[in-house]
Structure 1
Amino acid sequence: MSTETTLSILGSGIYLPPARPVCEVAAEAGADVSNYQGWPNVCHALAEDHPSTMGATALKAALADAGVAPDELRLVLFAGISRDYLPSFSVATEIMQSCGAQGHCLGLDMTIGCLGALSALDMAQGWLATHGGGVAAIVTAERWSYTVDHGSMASMGLWAHGDGASAAVVAMDTPHPAKAMFRGAEFTTQSDLNGTVLVKYGGTRHPVAPAGANPAERLFMGSSRADIRERYAYGYSSSLEAMKKRFGIAPKRVIINQTAALFLHLIAQVINIPIEDFLLTGPETGHVGSADLLIGLDRMLKSGPCHEPYLLASSTPYAFGAGLLMPPTPG
């Protein structure tokens, strides 16, 4: 890939509501927590927190970190699952309005589960290359803890799914200094796993939930957990191999979705990178869905300069991606 189509990471920002111990939340809901082995804490949204408000807070922080004015934005991609209202309400456009982006900026909502941030980086790279460069923003925000039945043992794997937001300001062919460079990503899809985690009600197939049901509850459907582990292992390994083949670089450090504590140990074995070289935010935040990847990126960039390649690894049950983050080009 030519340097002209490499995406500069200019700045990052996050918004995280207060965290609570997962076992405390589940016990209050009446669950037996004696066998729980997941992330110890989870962020739960405050009453006034919504995807657009949390996302706007994260983007304002990212713009300040980048030293970029809102009127420079040409594209705002919102890549979260959660939304304030059903479409055609645009979370991206609401965030644009809150942050002061102007009419020459396009706000676009895209949804691909927890793979959203990596997909949005890839999309911003292509969009800016096609449109002659400029500045774009990627925003991810989730408010989904309320969709989890914390009293259900069947939902134990979802107890640590938490709320929050993250953002990155990116650019191509501008004078702004880069903190890191996004080279690109490779993806693989297993389409038969679509609907593995399902919000059953609210769409055209089941518009209204029956009386007494939580219309927003997420359900684990279909495949056994053993099969899911095997399929995830293949998805992560195949996308990583495609990325390494494309760029000829094998990163030794990882920024990844914080799906579950034990799950990351499995992925570490599959891709043959020690878990000690994974950047972990799950112990403090839980799994914040699409926001995880940029929360990790923000932590890495705020800890010091990027000096080596990082694997950006991300997934949703039916799709997997591996991206390459590099140190900024000298000069």
Structure 2
Amino acid sequence: MKAGIRSIGWWVPEARLDAQEIAQAYGLPAGAVAGAGLHSRAVAGPDDHPSTMAARATRHALGAAGLALDDLDLLIFAGVTRDWPNPWVAAFGVLHELGAPGCAGFDIANRCAAGIDALWIAKALVESGTHKTVAVCCADRFDHYLGPQDRPARTPFDTMYSAGAATAIVSAEADNTMAGYAHYTNPRLAVHCATGPWSGGSRAPLDRRGLEAGHHLWQVRMSVRDLDDISRYEVEADRHNYPSIMKQAGVDGFDLVACSPLDPGPQLKALQDLGIDPAATLFTVPRLGHIGPADLFLILGIAVASGRAVGNRVAMSMRTSAYANALALIGAGSDPGIRVAGQGVDLRLWQAAPSPERLAEEHTP
């Protein structure tokens, strides 16, 4: 028995801020945001939380697959943010929103790489026979960590973090197979604490002084050397992960690469160096902002829904400062065979595949 992705569903808030509005909100010079490649960003409403958005995306995914809620027996939440602090479990929040008390659930936390890890875990559970239908939910809302909130942005990339959700249904009934997985951990693991809130955990509990200083918000503690080391590490990760999943899947290339770097320039060059056509990509960040691990599901879902010639060899790849992974998805026919449905995305923006020259022009700060 082999497992794959049967369907993908998404839900993205319809409200948007354009580049000029984002620059004003963050106190950046006019043009700084557009210069980093961001045209617009989804904006969450007051009732749009990781659990509520994930539930909406999951309903779309189940509907696309022709499945009922009772068919779902496990839900894995792989988003970065949560409605409530730990030890609250987002998976049960999503199941509560869905009205599915008979379904099992758990969270996996690995920043943006968690979506791929969760897919591989779901594959193993389905193929072992312990579960039949697994939903992998990725939903995030970053504005409480990285929103303007009277704090200046350190770089234009800080303004890209957005809101939305996407869910993949993993099943043995899929018309594709997850055929390869690879990961690569940064040898300099000290970088794991370079970003994130300063207080709110056991090492520095949140107190009034820390709250007033904003230590509960997202912080960046990286030097120029750290950034250079991370850039080198990401290239090493690509050189390790892409060839590994090609070998496992028995292919010599990919027709679509779902990846979501904030700065696509180095990623495009890495793909080219590995013999992968840089035009075999579809970036959602410029129009929607960075929604976390949901980006990869959105890229694949939008590519299918917009009528792009996706092909049957798909790579999903995510890189973080400490960890990177990749997954190969091979369709049984001429395409991935994934059913899709969603709300809040204008598919017309991605109907034409851009040339490598256009990609480089649009996404070079």
Alignment TM-score, normalising by the size of structure 2: 0.81
Unaligned runs of 5+ in 1: none
| Cα RMSD after superposing both structures | 2.3
Pair 1:186 & 2:182 matched: yes
Q: d(CA) in 2 for partners of 1:274 and 1:223?
A: 33
Amino acid at match of 1:309: R
Alignment match of 2:231 (pick from 210, 229, 232): 229
Unaligned runs of 5+ in 2: 338-365
SS class of match (2:196): strand
Q: d(CA) in 1 for partners of 2:332 and 2:95?
A: 28
Q: d(CA) in 2 for partners of 1:153 and 1:271?
A: 34
2:138–2:294: 8 Å Cα contact kept in structure 1? yes
2:32–2:156: 8 Å Cα contact kept in structure 1? no
Deviations 1:10-37 (A, max 9, x none): 2111111122123422223322244442
Deviations 1:81-131 (A, max 9, x none): 11111233221112122223342x320100000001111100101122223
Deviations 1:152-184 (A, max 9, x none): 242422111111111011112xxx4x3543223
Q: d(CA) in 2 for partners of 1:30 and 1:189?
A: 35
Alignment match of 2:21 (pick from 16, 20, 24): 24
2:142–2:162: 8 Å Cα contact kept in structure 1? yes
Task: Name the residue aligned to 1:115.
Answer: 113
Q: d(CA) in 2 for partners of 1:272 and 1:207?
A: 48
Pair 1:279 & 2:282 matched: yes
Task: Name the residue aligned to 1:318.
Answer: 322
SS class of match (1:279): coil
Pair 1:327 & 2:299 matched: no
Q: What does 1:140-159 align with in structure 2 at a 5 Å threshold?
A: 140-148=138-146, 150=148, 152-159=152-159
Alignment TM-score, normalising by the size of structure 1: 0.89
Q: d(CA) in 1 for partners of 2:76 and 2:93?
A: 11
Pair 1:307 & 2:307 matched: no
SS class of match (1:194): helix
Q: d(CA) in 2 for partners of 1:295 and 1:48?
A: 21
Q: What does 1:255-294 align with in structure 2 at a 5 Å threshold?
A: 255-294=258-297
Q: What does 1:1-331 align with in structure 2 at a 5 Å threshold?
A: 4=1, 6-17=2-13, 18-36=15-33, 37-38=35-36, 39-103=38-102, 105-148=103-146, 150=148, 152-172=152-172, 176=173, 178-190=174-186, 191-208=189-206, 210-224=210-224, 225-249=227-251, 250-304=253-307, 307-328=311-332
Q: d(CA) in 2 for partners of 1:186 and 1:75?
A: 24
2:19–2:31: 8 Å Cα contact kept in structure 1? no
- CA shift in 2, pair 1:179/1:47, >3 Å: farther
2:26–2:153: 8 Å Cα contact kept in structure 1? no
Amino acid at match of 1:226: D
Greater shift in the superposed pair: 134-143 or 259-268: 259-268
Between the aligned residues of both structures, percent identity stands at 24
Equivalenced residue count is 322
Amino acid at match of 1:303: S
Q: d(CA) in 2 for partners of 1:7 and 1:223?
A: 43
Q: d(CA) in 1 for partners of 2:228 and 2:275?
A: 20
Q: d(CA) in 1 for partners of 2:93 and 2:110?
A: 20
Greater shift in the superposed pair: 148-157 or 161-170: 148-157
SS class of match (1:97): helix
Query: What is the CA distance between 1:133 and its match in structure 2?
Result: 4.7
Q: d(CA) in 2 for partners of 1:211 and 1:192?
A: 25
1:77–1:137: 8 Å Cα contact kept in structure 2? yes
Greater shift in the superposed pair: 18-27 or 106-115: 18-27
- CA shift in 2, pair 1:21/1:102, >3 Å: same
Q: d(CA) in 1 for partners of 2:333 and 2:313?
A: 12
Q: d(CA) in 2 for partners of 1:207 and 1:156?
A: 30
Greater shift in the superposed pair: 145-154 or 193-202: 145-154
Q: d(CA) in 2 for partners of 1:237 and 1:318?
A: 16
